[in-house]
Amino acid sequence: MRLYKKEGDTLKILCFPGEEVEKGDYLAIEEDGRCLLVQVIDTQFANIPGMLEELLRDLAIRDVAEGEDVDALDVGSHLAYIQDARLLVCKVRGALKAGRPTVERWLPSRVHSKIRSLKLSELLDILGLPGELPIELGWGRDGSHVSIDAKDLDGRLNIITGKKGTGKSHLSKLLALGLVDYGATVVILDLNGEYVNLGYTPEGEKNEYYDRIVVLRPGGNFRVSLAQTSLKIIMGILVHTFGLPGTSAREFRRIWSHLKAQNNLSMKALGEAIRVWKCNELVRDALYSRYYALVSSGFFTDDDGEAVDLADVLKRLDGGGLLIVNLRDLSPSHRRMVVEYVLEKLVELLSSWDSGAIFLFAEEAHLYMRETYWDDVITRMRHLGVFTTFITNQPDSLGENVYRQADNIFLFNFTNQRDLEMVSRASSIDAETVKLIANELPPHHCLILGYVVRDHPVVVKVRALNVQTMGRTRLFFASMPIVRAARSSASQRAS
């Protein structure tokens, strides 16, 4: 390999057949005890003079004539070698002086510098990774194990994104379980009910996480009483989820205060209070319709024995565990209501120091999280100790501010340039890297950007998990015997 050109922080390196380098790989450019760490973000054919002419000639001749080359000295193989020469487009990621990271940059010599492939394990060593609390993610292209430090997710905002079927949910499960291993409390807003079996092995046996996982099914084993619910939470639900108008909200506030003063906060009492409350009939209708929405959700109960206290659940998971809120089979409005309750409750608990910091994993959050929450999540809630990981296949569903504030991005394949454009707004990485590497990532390969890799983007193949991940979509034609049976019965009918 040979240094060819430098344009800004982009270096172009000539590479010949036999020197196997791919996108995402790191190279070390060494010279006089100094070393420049560069990452290959694109591979192109070297622009050799006359190459177009060469190819056109070859093509034109092959089209019209057939013959034989007496190339006794086999110069042709050297020509093929030249024709296959590649140009590696690289970004400078860091530098070392006497083996230690330095902020100094310099232009290496074309003649005297030596360029070699840098093993990923070597790079991670230089970066001091994985640190004290390693979470093993998988392998690099060269087979090096890649782990990140669980501490680097602490207090951070993370995004896992990529197109459908690339392995986003799988990675989120891996990270969540990795955090649990180190005693962290993780709350998962499980949109499709695909996290609920993490306590089982693929064979269906209980695994080491079984006792550390609590699955809450709203309306099932997750019901709450009004007495546990603060006015703020219930107002949030009524106003933001059920769109209660301002005037009606004011009346509701009065009713709530009245019931609270009487120490009579229950669904039954609330319904009765609305019925007899002196107010405009339109207001009463508005309150009634919201009240019945609450009732029909089955989320609220007057039975204290049935009601679940989130504080108690979190205490149970104190030594590390997963609290999975299964949002599957809930209508969109009920989903939003439950999430509103859970998030506000968490904030309440954290504000009163009744709970330690928690990690929140939110899959396709735009489907159940109101827009005003975005800023809340990345500012207020973060400071209170809710460290969120968003998982989405629609990057534009998260606001630009979320990307700008993101500390870590786990990026899977995207082919759509608009999606990549959105992700590239993350301030920690250049848009070129995102666009060029991410659009060619194979399934289950992830480009890690941000603090967890000390701003040295790393491509990793995510390892398998010994748990039931259930992240697959149920398919119509997957069950072939059914198809065959249907076909044979159809043919019988025909005969």
Place of tokens 């996108």: 23
Query: Residue 212 corresponds to which amino acid?
Result: R
Q: Report the C-alpha gap between 54 and 31 in whole angstroms.
A: 36
Q: What DSSP line would sit under 364-421, residue for residue?
A: TGGGTS-THHHHHHHTHHHHHTEEEEEEES-GGGS-HHHHHH-SEEEE-----HHHHH
Question: Which DSSP helix (H) or strand (E) runs through 359?
Answer: strand 358-363
- Among candidates 88, 87, 89, 86, which has minimal Cα distance to 9? 89
Q: Closest separation between CB of residue 48 and another protein, Å?
A: 5
Q: Closest separation between CB of residue 1 and another protein, Å?
A: 16
Q: Which of 9, 44, 48, 415 binds another protein (CB under 8 A)?
A: 48
Identify which of residues 66 and 203 has a Cβ nearer to another protein in the complex.
Answer: 66
Which DSSP letter does residue 441 get? P
Segment interacting with another protein, rule: CB under 8 A, options 80-88, 130-138, 293-301, 351-359: 80-88
204 binds another protein (CB under 8 A): no
Q: Closest separation between CB of residue 27 and another protein, Å?
A: 21
Identify which of residues 5 and 315 has a Cβ nearer to another protein in the complex.
Answer: 5
Q: Report the C-alpha gap between 124 and 367 in whole angstroms.
A: 37
Identify which of residues 73 and 103 has a Cβ nearer to another protein in the complex.
Answer: 73
Size of the site for another protein (CB under 8 A): 30
Identify which of residues 83 and 121 has a Cβ nearer to another protein in the complex.
Answer: 83
Identify which of residues 79 and 486 has a Cβ nearer to another protein in the complex.
Answer: 79
Identify which of residues 60 and 490 has a Cβ nearer to another protein in the complex.
Answer: 60
Identify which of residues 50 and 246 has a Cβ nearer to another protein in the complex.
Answer: 50
Identify which of residues 110 and 250 has a Cβ nearer to another protein in the complex.
Answer: 110
Q: Closest separation between CB of residue 76 and another protein, Å?
A: 8
* Residue 165 token pair: 């079927």
Q: Hey, which residues between 83 and 112 contact another protein (CB under 8 A)?
A: 83, 110
33 binds another protein (CB under 8 A): no
Q: Report the C-alpha gap between 402 and 390 in whole angstroms.
A: 10
Segment interacting with another protein, rule: CB under 8 A, options 18-26, 42-50, 217-225, 229-237: 42-50
Which DSSP letter does residue 174 get? H
Question: Which DSSP helix (H) or strand (E) runs through 170?
Answer: helix 168-181
Identify which of residues 60 and 478 has a Cβ nearer to another protein in the complex.
Answer: 60
49 binds another protein (CB under 8 A): yes
Q: Report the C-alpha gap between 155 and 305 in whole angstroms.
A: 35
Residue pair 222/216 in contact by the 8 Å Cβ criterion:
yes
- Among candidates 146, 126, 158, which has minimal Cα distance to 35? 126
Q: Closest separation between CB of residue 198 and another protein, Å?
A: 57
Q: Which of 20, 22, 81, 356 binds another protein (CB under 8 A)?
A: 81
Interface pattern 2-21 for another protein (x via CB under 8 A): --xx----------------
Residue 220, helix vs strand vs coil: coil
Q: Closest separation between CB of residue 5 and another protein, Å?
A: 8
The residues, ordered by sequence, that sit 6+ positions from 94 with a Cβ below 8 Å of its Cβ are 36, 37, 101, 126, 456
Interface pattern 106-145 for another protein (x via CB under 8 A): ----x-----------------------------------
Q: Closest separation between CB of residue 2 and another protein, Å?
A: 11
Instruction: Report the interhelical angle of 246-261 vs 281-297 (nearest 10°).
Output: 70
| 352 CB burial (10 A radius; 0-12, 13-18, 19+) | exposed
Q: Closest separation between CB of residue 95 and another protein, Å?
A: 25
Phi and psi at 453, nearest 5°, equal -115, 20
Identify which of residues 79 and 485 has a Cβ nearer to another protein in the complex.
Answer: 79
Q: Closest separation between CB of residue 101 and another protein, Å?
A: 32
Interface pattern 50-79 for another protein (x via CB under 8 A): xx-xx--x--xx-xxxxxxxxxxx-xx-xx
Give the Å distances, CA to CA, from 405 to 248, 292, 299, 408.
Answer: 37, 39, 34, 9
Q: Closest separation between CB of residue 88 and another protein, Å?
A: 16
Q: Closest separation between CB of residue 56 and another protein, Å?
A: 10
Q: Closest separation between CB of residue 63 and another protein, Å?
A: 6
Identify which of residues 111 and 494 has a Cβ nearer to another protein in the complex.
Answer: 111
Place of tokens 């029909």: 296
- Spatial strand order of the sheet with 145-149 comes to 145-149, 134-139, 458-462, 445-450, 408-411, 158-161, 386-392, 358-363, 185-190, 321-326, 213-216
Identify which of residues 52 and 464 has a Cβ nearer to another protein in the complex.
Answer: 52
Q: Closest separation between CB of residue 18 and another protein, Å?
A: 13
Segment interacting with another protein, rule: CB under 8 A, options 81-89, 126-134, 289-297, 483-491: 81-89
Which DSSP letter does residue 210 get? G
Identify which of residues 59 and 475 has a Cβ nearer to another protein in the complex.
Answer: 59
In the complex, the residues that contact another protein under the rule CB under 8 A are 4-5, 48-51, 53-54, 57, 60-61, 63-73, 75-76, 78-79, 81-83, 110
